[in-house]
Chains A and B, each alone.
Chain A
Amino acid sequence: MAIQAESSKPKNFLVRFFTMDTSGAKGVGRKLPLWRQLLIQLLCLVIAIEVMFPLMYVITMSLSSKSERPTSLQLFPKEINFGAFKQVVDRPTANPVTFGRLALNSFILSVSVGLISLLIAVSAAYAFSRFNFSMRQVLMILVFVPLLMPGVGLATPLFLLLNSIKFVNCGGGLYALTPFMSCVAGVTPKIIFNLRDSLLGVGIAMISGALPFAIWNLKGYLDTIPKELEEAGKIDGASSNQIFFKIVLPLAVPQLAVTFFLGFIGYWQEFVLPWLFLTKPQNYTLSMTLYNMTGQYATSIPWNTFSAFSIIVAAPVAIIYIILQKQIVSGLTLGGVKG
């Protein structure tokens, strides 16, 4: 009775405005009065400004025609000039390497590292998730430790390992593949192909870090697939391998995609290993070129082209991330929840 009496009381405009239900929910639900909505909007806007602040800086610089650093704080572009973008695409570096070549190198490297590590990881993740065997603890620790080791930690031995594999011309129509064969003593061999100094070699080195991550991320997800499905398969007479390939693998496809994409972001931006290994400009990647532009001293950076280049490198990943956000969120949490 009290409720009815209250609702029939006439209210002035302001009270009605600020107690307005903005939740959009139909029927019974929690109400969000307008004053709270406005307060939350204000908070969200403040956070959005915090996020956008450095990004606006980059966008403003990229649209400027001057390559010097702005001397006053400028968050909104005064002029809109796509000269920097054009310059980046036309002639990205001092070397005669096209933008397309750099982008292709980055793309091939990150896609193949992502795919290959995923292929190798999925069966190992399955074994860790579904089987109890005596070496399980030890082997899992062996997989996780490299994950904690940064790429830098193994750079020297990987360099030595990959550097020892060379295809050389011994002269006189003779070729050799070191370290398995070598030229006759006294002949200085001419290097035709050095695994270390190639995209293939860098890819191999990157897989060394990518593989443990893929196993870790997939294992967490496989843990959440109900065992009942497999048991049902077993009753129907499916072998372990049939269960893996026909039941578990199809169910894991969304997480395979998420793991691939999470890795892809990292390898797309990876700079240390390519930077230490590659010497030929035609093998350079986008991130290496970006690093090249920052030089040793901040003042010498061509700010507008650097910013334009940054946007070109970041934009594709950002767009895919925003589109796939829902899948990534669920993939990440499922991959992480183990408690």
Chain B
Amino acid sequence: MGAATAFSRGKNALRRGGLPYIYLAPAFIVMGIITFYPLVYQFIISFSDFQTKDLLYGISSPKLSWIGIKNYIDIFTGGLPVQNFDFFRVLTYNFWWAITNVAVHVPAGILIAVLLNIHGIWFKRVYRAIYVLPIVIPPLVVATVWRNIFDEQYGAINQGLSAVAHLFGSVNPVHLRWLTEYTPPIPWLLPNSPLPLAYYAMMIANFWLGWPFMALVATGALQSIPKDLYEAADIDGASGSQQFWNITLPLIRPAMIPAAIYGFTLSFNLFNFVYFMTGGGPARSTEILVTFAYDLVRNLRLYGAAAAFSMIILVVALTIFLITNRITRATAASEA
């Protein structure tokens, strides 16, 4: 309670209006040093051609040259010394990747949660225990295993497809190059598809990874719905699907919308999984913004350009946040 008494002593000196700032102070002092200061620093070096040799001295490096907004121009016009880079293609793909993921995870999660929430089904706890496993496996392991499953020669998917093809009389084993083929799949159907086969492979793998979280949130929301609502609906003769659309969905919506938005930002920045699964390949076609930023730092060592790139990501993230904040009113006061 030492901290508490210190707080109360300070409180007498302050008007009541200062109290929230005292509660906020520890977090903001720490964040000031290790979050906001680096952010400002990042902003400053984004106007320089910061390189490995400057790492020792920071922005006081004697060899550092200030190049103004050249990094930003290079990023937008594709002027970086990097192959297959088009910022707006990566940005569009990144949004498409996040939206399509959430669009399949949320409905699947809700349906599976509803299924498991049916009163009286057997082995409920066993299934619940199994279904959360994808959440707790390290992303590196998940991605490595799925990369293996989609392998051209030994992968389970191709072997399964070969077995199916056998049934239809084909003798050739299937050798789809899931993760390395960059001509569009099914050329007669999608001749100009910007999405390579790797995108679909990653969607399948990330579906495995993503729906359990949504099911978990939906389960929690389902359990808070009062049982008598369903009993009343039963008496009124409402069918199962009517109950689902008119009771279940509206009542779990307040929990699912923030979860969907959380899932969106998670997929949008899904560094570990994307990096380990394809590394952004083939030909950077499945690269998202964060994997690209990492590549700029780790492999290409263009720190200045990477800083500018991070700043752009920040602006994108801020825009997403402000829009989603409108939807969830996350920052609205609790009583509002």
**A146 at interface, CB cutoff 8 A:** yes
**A17 at interface, CB cutoff 8 A:** no
Residues of A in contact with B (beta carbons under 8 Å apart): 21-25, 29-30, 32, 37, 40-41, 43-44, 47-48, 50-55, 57-58, 69-73, 120-121, 123-124, 126-133, 135-137, 139-161, 163-164, 204-205, 207-208, 211-212, 215, 222-223, 227, 239-242, 244-245, 265, 269, 271-272, 276, 287, 290-291, 294, 298, 301, 306, 310, 313-314, 317-318, 321-322, 325, 328-330, 332-333, 336-339
Q: How far is the CA of A53 from the CA of B46 in the complex (A)?
A: 45
Within 8 A of A (CB), among B282-322: 290, 293-294, 297-298, 303, 306-307, 310, 313-314, 317-318, 320-322
| CB atoms of A215 and B133 under 8 A apart | no
How far does the Cβ of B308 sit from chain A's closest Cβ, in whole Å?
A: 11
Partner of B141, one of A146, A151, A310, A329: A310
B134: A residues at CB distance < 8 A: 51
Partner of A144, one of B223, B259, B321, B334: B321
Q: How far is the CA of A131 from the CA of B271 in the complex (A)?
A: 36
| CB atoms of B320 and A148 under 8 A apart | yes
Within 8 A of A (CB), among B202-223: 208, 212, 216-217, 219-221, 223
Residues of B in contact with A (beta carbons under 8 Å apart): 1, 4, 7-8, 11, 17, 19-21, 23-24, 26-28, 30-31, 34-39, 41-42, 45, 50, 55, 58, 112, 115-116, 118-123, 127-142, 144-149, 151, 153-154, 156, 159-160, 208, 212, 216-217, 219-221, 223-224, 230, 234, 253-255, 257-259, 262, 265, 269, 271-272, 276, 290, 293-294, 297-298, 303, 306-307, 310, 313-314, 317-318, 320-322, 325, 328-335
11 contacts between A and B (CB under 8 A): A32-B119, A37-B120, A44-B123, A54-B149, A73-B159, A123-B24, A157-B42, A161-B41, A337-B255, A338-B254, A339-B328
Q: How far is the CA of A228 from the CA of B100 in the complex (A)?
A: 43
Partner of B39, one of A124, A150, A157: A157
| CB atoms of A48 and B130 under 8 A apart | yes
Q: How far is the CA of A273 from the CA of B141 in the complex (A)?
A: 18
Given contacts A156-B45, A156-B310, A159-B55, 12 further A-B contacts (CB under 8 A): A54-B145, A57-B145, A58-B145, A141-B321, A146-B31, A153-B290, A157-B39, A157-B41, A161-B38, A241-B7, A328-B216, A329-B216
Q: How far is the CA of A160 from the CA of B48 in the complex (A)?
A: 15
How far does the Cβ of B160 sit from chain A's closest Cβ, in whole Å?
A: 7
Partner of A126, one of B23, B45, B254: B23
| CB atoms of A321 and B135 under 8 A apart | yes
Q: How far is the CA of A92 from the CA of B116 in the complex (A)?
A: 40
| CB atoms of A148 and B39 under 8 A apart | no
Q: How far is the CA of A49 from the CA of B260 in the complex (A)?
A: 25
| CB atoms of B271 and A272 under 8 A apart | yes
| CB atoms of B38 and A245 under 8 A apart | no
